Amino acid sequence: DSGSVTASPRQQDTEYLCPVQIGSPAQTLPLDFDTGSSDLWVFSTDTPRSEVNGQTVYDASSSSSAKRLSGATWKISYGDGSSSSGIVYLDTVTVGGLTVSRQAVEAAKQVSSSFSRDTSSSGLLGLAFSSINTVSPNQQKTFFDNAMPHLDAPLFTADLKHNADGRYNFGYIDKSAYTGSISYTPVDNSQGFWGFTATVDGTDVTGIADTGTTLIYLPDSIVTSYYSQVSGARYDSSNAGYIFPCGSSMPDFSFNVGGGGGGGGTVTVPGSYVNFAPTDQTGQTCFGGLQSDSSIGISIFGDIALKAAFVVFDGGNKQLGWAAK
Ligand SMILES: CSC[C@H](NC(=O)[C@H](Cc1ccccc1)OC(=O)N1CCC(N)CC1)C(=O)N[C@@H](CC1CCCCC1)[C@@H](O)Cn1ccccc1=O
């Protein structure tokens, strides 16, 4: 089997949403595919009306294939302070033509305000490792884990784009989607993430490949030296990050993956991607797409990095592949 689904950017690439079919007859919800977490959760008819603000909701009672997973609950909180919790159904889930018949669909009974405010997203589809799924008392598998045994190849690829529709493919590598060769590097999934080591300016950086995180968060030393090249750039505590004049021409940001004997491959993030967004309506000052990880405790290669590459999340061989495109 295989699947292929469009990933549409929202609000200047802050997140990417994909249509997912749940239940019988199919209910299509736009979900945020997140390689940084492992719960598939959705706004539902169980979510208080006061917390629903235009989102499409899942109605288990109108799905003939839905079965309540009795006694099961879930509760998750994310790096940006957002959170949600609820109950669990097993139902049929289809992503880009790839179907899993008994997928844990976590229905929200509570969502935090930032989810209520995000009117375009109906929830998340976690693509990290099932070891960090939050369902209790019996932990559930991710969509990818459930699908893997049926896939032509035990992998999925992420091809996110700047201000344009990209694609997640499951079970195969689309050779027309990238240029040159794919450089592979081992994945450390001991924390449940797609952990890997890259080299930036000769310094090894261990971080995670996270489609659910908008920006890149790296060690202070790397971030400070990057912005030292931009006149007027400074760390601004009120914005909690590096800002600079919007007219600045930003240097490209490169990192090397799979550096071993073969020299590995270099991913180059265009400077224009690092000029992320204005901090206010005047459009004078802009917020950087590369920020320090010091308040997070983990380095994150988020969408700003991922959309500069074609990325292979290889679950069978526990490796990450990076290619230019
Ligand atoms: C430093 S982890 C911050 C990161 N959340 C972000 O990146 C949000 C994403 C977003 C975009 C648009 C609307 C709402 C939310 O966006 C910003 O925080 N932005 C964008 C806008 C900028 N002006 C400020 C910075 C984050 O918790 N990701 C998690 C998945 C997110 C949760 C929120 C909903 C979207 C998916 C997750 O993979 C991060 N994870 C990774 C490993 C371990 C735990 C963990 O939890």
The tens digit of pLDDT for each residue in 175-234 reads 999 999 999 999 999 999 999 999 999 999 999 999 999 999 999 999 999 999 999 999
Cβ contact 47:111 at 8 Å:
yes
Q: Which amino acid is at 234?
A: R
Residue 267 dihedral angles phi and psi, to the nearest 5°: -100, 125
Q: Ligand 1 centre and the CA of 52: distance in Å?
A: 20
34 catalytic residue (yes or no)? yes
Q: Which residue among 13, 32, 34, 39 is the active-site one?
A: 34
Torsion angles phi and psi, residue 76, rounded to 5: -135, 145
Distance from C-alpha of 116 to C-alpha of 110, rounded to nearest angstrom: 10
pTM of the model: 0.97
* For ligand 1, atom 27: residue with the closest CA: 79
**DSSP of 114-142, one letter per residue?**
HHHH-TT--EEEE-S-GGG---BSS----
Ligand 1 atom closest to the Cα of residue 298 is: 42
302 touches 214 (CB < 8 A): yes
pLDDT at 258: 92
Residue 267: pLDDT over 80: yes
The CA–CA distances, whole Å, from 153 to 12, 87, 98, 313 equal 33, 32, 13, 11
Nearest atom in ligand 1 to the alpha carbon of residue 82 is 33
β-strands 241-245, 285-288: how paired? antiparallel
Q: What are phi and psi of 210, to 5 degrees?
A: -130, 100
- Residue 295 Cα to ligand 1 middle (Å): 14
* Chain segment 2-11, per-residue pLDDT in tens: 999 999 999 9
1 carries an active-site annotation:
no
Residue 263 confidence class, pLDDT cut points 50, 70, 90: confident
In the predicted model, is pLDDT for residue 113 greater than 80?
yes
Task: Convert the pLDDT of each residue in 313-325 to its tens digit.
Answer: 999 999 999 999 9
Helices first, then strands: H and E counts in the chain: 5, 24
- Nearest CA owner, ligand 1 atom 1: 79
CA 177 to centroid of ligand 1, rounded, Å: 26
For the sheet with 275-278, list strands across it: 234-236, 241-245, 285-288, 275-278
pLDDT value of residue 260: 66
Per-residue pLDDT band for 261 (boundaries 50, 70, 90) equals low
* Interval 139-171: pLDDT, tens: 999 999 999 999 999 999 999 999 999 999 999
Tell me how far apart the terminal alpha carbons of the chain are, to the nearest angstrom: 25
Query: Ligand 1 pocket: which of 34, 41, 78, 223 to mutate (most atoms <8 Å of CB)?
Result: 78
For the chain, give the mean pLDDT. 97
Ligand 1 neighbours by CB, cut-off 6 Å: 14-15, 32, 34, 36-37, 78-80, 82, 114, 118, 124, 193, 210, 212-215, 217, 287, 296, 300
